[in-house]
Amino acid sequence: MKFICDDNLGKLASYLRILGFDTHFEENIDDDSLLKTASAEKRTLLTRDRKLATRIHPYGILIIEDDDPLRQLNFAATELNLKIDPSNLFNRCSKCNEICRIVNKDEISDEVFPFILKTQAVIKQCPSCRRYYWKGSHYKNILKKLISSIPEEALTSSWPDF
């Protein structure tokens, strides 16, 4: 399932990307452009805008009412009956939605702290925005939040260890 989030749901978009879902998000996008992109890319629209939700969209619209991004995520997972594969966690860039690639640590030694290079078995990089990702404390904190927010029945397998 692919999503597009309105400009009020940036954090939700980030969480969906972390879970491995292809999620389009732009700040300051107008309603017509949002719907046009959603239709062209066959994306389910997630919105906080009740007026926008009255418009017709062939791939579905879900109104998100809660302000808290983790409760928004729980609601979307439940309402859309999402199937979350934990093996897809952290494969997408949380900022720009691209699929990240494992990098050769020797090739990035001048770009990443030596401690990270020594302690991390796998480092990924977004090919678009060039951000680096690894399983440090931020990974563990996000994983704890996801575990507490995602309904158990949404999982296709168990959560990874951390």
Question: Are both 74 and 102 inside the same structural domain?
Answer: no
Number of domains in the chain: 2
Burial grade of 59 (CB within 10 A; 0-12, 13-18, 19 or more): middle
pLDDT in tens, 71-125: 999 999 999 999 999 999 999 999 999 999 999 999 999 999 999 999 999 999 9
- 160 or 93, which is more confident: 93
pLDDT at 53 over 90: no
56 pLDDT tier (thresholds 50, 70, 90):
confident
Residue 109, domain extent:
98-154
pLDDT in tens, 70-82: 999 999 999 999 9
- Look at residues 21, 56, 82 and tell me which one is the last residue of a structural domain: 82
For the residues 138-147, what does the mean pLDDT come to? 94
Q: Report which residue type is found at 43.
A: R
Q: pLDDT > 90: what percent of the chain?
A: 91
Question: Are both 106 and 70 inside the same structural domain?
Answer: no
Question: Are both 17 and 66 inside the same structural domain?
Answer: yes
- 4 or 57, which is more confident: 4
161 lies in some domain = no
Distance between CA atoms of 162 and 159, rounded to whole angstroms?
9
- Look at residues 18, 52, 82 and tell me which one is the last residue of a structural domain: 82
Across the chain, mean pLDDT equals 95
Which 3-state string (H, E, C) describes the chain? CCEEECCCCHHHHHHHHHCCCCEEECCCCCHHHHHHHHHHCCCEEEECCHHHHCCCCCCCEEECCCCCHHHHHHHHHHHCCCCECHHHCCCECCCCCCECEECCHHHHCCCCCHHHHHHCCCCEECCCCCCEECCCHHHHHHHHHHHHHCCHHHECCCCCCC
Query: What's the pTM?
Result: 0.94
